[in-house]
Amino acid sequence: MMRTIRKKAQLFIRRPYDLVRAFILFVCSSLCAVSLITYDLHDQSLFFYSSHTTTVHNVCGAIGANIAALLMYIFGSAALVSLLFLFFVGYMYALRTTWMAEIDRIISFVLLTLSSCALCVRCGSSLQAGLIGHYVYRFMATRVTEPSCTIILAIVCACSTFIIFRALLIPFGYVCLKVALWILHQTAFWRGLLYYSVRTVLVIVRG
C-alpha cells in the first residue's frame, strides 16, 4: 500500500516537469518552424555575410535567421520534417508516454528525415539539399543505380509517414472506403432504376 502511494506521489511530482519539458519543446519547435518559413537566403547569418548593411527579413530577427540558416545547412529543405520530431517528443512528454512505447514512430521519424534529406538532393535545383542529404544520397548512390535509389527513398518516406500518422490515416482510409462503397451502391441503385424504368416503358409501348 505504501509502495503504491509512494509511486503515485512520484508520478504526481514528475508531472509538472513533464509539462514544462513539453512546453519548452513546443515553443522551440514553433520558433524554429516560423524561422524556417520566413527563411531568406540573403539574411546575415553564420552561413552568409555581406559587407553591405541589409535588412533581416526573418520574422524572428537575427536569431531566427541564424537558426534557419543552420537548419537549412544541416537538413536542407527537409528541415521542417525534422521539426516534426520535436513536436512529437513534446507530445510524448505531455501525455507521459515512454520512449519504448513509441519506438516504431521514433525510428520512422529518423528514417523519414534521412530519406527526405536525400530526396532533396535528387530533386536538384527545385529543393535545397543539406549536409545530411548529401551524405545519405552519396552512400546509397555508390551501391545502387540512381533510379533505384530514388524509388527506395520514396518507399521509405511513404512507409515512415504511414507508421507515424497511422492513427489518422487508418480512420481516414476507412471513411474514404465507406464513401466509395456508398457511391457505388448509389450508382448501382440508379442504374437499376433506370434499367427497370426503360424496361417498363418498352413493355407498355409493345403492349
pLDDT tens-digit readout, 107-154:
988 999 888 888 888 776 556 778 888 888 888 888 888 888 888 888
- Is residue 45 helix, strand or coil? strand
Percent of the chain's residues with pLDDT above 70:
68
Q: Is 129 left (phi over 0), alpha (psi -120 to 50) or beta?
A: beta
pLDDT score, position 87 = 86
pLDDT score, position 51 = 60
Instruction: State the pTM of this model.
Output: 0.67
Supply angle C-alpha 123, 126, 127, rounded to 5: 75
Supply angle C-alpha 138, 142, 146, rounded to 5: 80
Place of cell 545519405: 136
- Is residue 83 helix, strand or coil? helix
Q: How many residues does the chain have?
A: 207
pLDDT digits (tens, 9 = 90+) for 69-92: 888 888 888 888 888 888 888 888
pLDDT class for 9, splitting at 50, 70, 90? very low
Number of H helices, E strands in the chain: 7, 0
